[in-house]
Structure 1
Amino acid sequence: MTTTSSTRYTLGGDEHLFVELSESMSLDAFFRGLLITKELAARNIGGITEICPANASFQVRFDPDVLDVAHLQEVLEDIEANIGEHEGTLDTRIVEIPVYYQDPWTHETLMRFRERHQDPDSTDIEYAARINGYADVAAFIEAHSATPWFVSMVGFVAGLPFMYQMVDRDKQIQVPKYLKPRTDTPKHTVGYGGSFSCIYSVRGAGGYQMFGVTPVPIYDPQQQIRHLSDFAIFFKPGDIVKFRPIDRAEHDEIVAAVERNDYTLRTAPVKFSQRDFSADPAGYPARLLEALYAN
């Protein structure tokens, strides 16, 4: 396939077109991909069966008997060119996720797998704080929770969000994955690998550093939990997340409220502007948070 500017198109068998927007992850690449895929979905083109956005790329599944791949690429090139001509904005939502950092469950798990870690003599969050130059764990938790995060993709396992921090690139937290993946990770673990934070939606294997847990379910295939009654997966690409540190007492209170099915997530609608964020990457996220705490 041909390449337009820095965008690369690659066939994935007969039914998939893979579009790579950048070789490295950035908020610009993510946002461009999100706008392109949203516009593609809005055009409702016959023959497209699935659109899967990712961190700096996306994939389109199509029926080759209905839609010619060359025409699909032409459509995508046109969308990308036109997006570059105007300010990109996105109607989305911001949501607060409570996090019990340094909880006992991830601590027990990480201690079982220290031989697979870069620094067996410290915890995951102690290691992350040290290699990122923070004075202590408290300062690291402040850095992780103070600024919002963009959900760039949902997947790997059902409902798991990958989140990219809304800060200047030189302030981005960077933490490598475990040297060898674990065979166990508690459900709802707040993890970190590379430049991405995530929330493990189910218990299972994993290689991301473990910082804490959230008491809020983000995946319910039975759709019995109130905030998951409309759809089994809570997060969507483009969501903005604000972590809020909590203690054990509040964690247990929220768990009890979820079990009673009367827990309400704090959310607010917002319009995100890529231009405004680029112009003021420190102040603009703070203004977005005002919508979350307006009431």
Structure 2
Amino acid sequence: MTTSNVGALSCPTATLAFDGPPGAGKTSLLAALVPVLGDRCVFFSEPNIKLANGPQAPIHPGTAAHTLWYLRSERLRMAALPSCAAAYNAELVLLDRNHLGVLAYCFATRHPDAIPYSKALGYYSQHIAPALPDDMRTVILQIEVEDSLRRRGRHPTHPRWQQWYDPDLLERMSVFYREHAPELCPRPPLIIDTGPLDRDAVMTIVATELAAAGITLPAHVATADPQPPIDGAFAIPYNATGGAAVLGNPVTSAFPYRDGQMQMFQLGSLYRVGDHTHPWNPLKSNLFTEAIS
């Protein structure tokens, strides 16, 4: 783990998590924020089970085992958040999803092997809620099902993403984020209906939320290129990691980040220092070994 400006800060000024149904604009916002904030922030990609291997991977296949992996990953991530943020001396911790994402899935799915929502909620109450930072701010991005499908081209670019284009699943997720998610946040969330708004308008609202937490942004934060190419330095590692089936498509160009270079993708980020490239994870890998216990 590399750090920057060691000793400058003892704790982050703010922790901000973005969540919401597919197509609401979460990834686009983070793709604009992380490059402009640079070393002022420490960024957590959403947990990605396809990047887990060895002792980090779930032992059993199936929807229930995978969902439990995501629940446990959230517990471990929240528990490690304060010490990790301090190690990076970050003003701001940015989270691409938190516990709301896996709870939304449990609420919405009708898969026969799924963990019941009541059981997932019980796990959250017992193991995740006590570890949530009291000052964690949550931005819930809302969008209507039709707008979600339209923004994403109505058809997945890879068969793995097919379920996220099911209108019934999306509608149930929308119900969760409207009716249940707000009460599962440590403090009242900022809720933004992104359907009628362009990206600049959404960014302006988010900038106001950050300013309230003491984090200033440049006067204008450019929205990310909607279809950036895969940087040449990351092309081989991207394909070796699994390409679009694992990481999705790129959402940023390569940019300087914490003594190296990073390129963000829909479902993870690649980080390069010198000749070594690996999926970005600000936590030491052994912090996730408990996810299979």
Q: Note whether the superposition's TM-score is higher than 0.5.
A: no
TM-score, normalised relative to structure 1? 0.23
Q: Which has the higher strand share?
A: 1
Structure index of larger Rg: 1
Between 1 and 2, higher relative CO (CA 8 Å, sep ≥ 6) is seen in 2
Structure with the bigger percentage of helix:
2
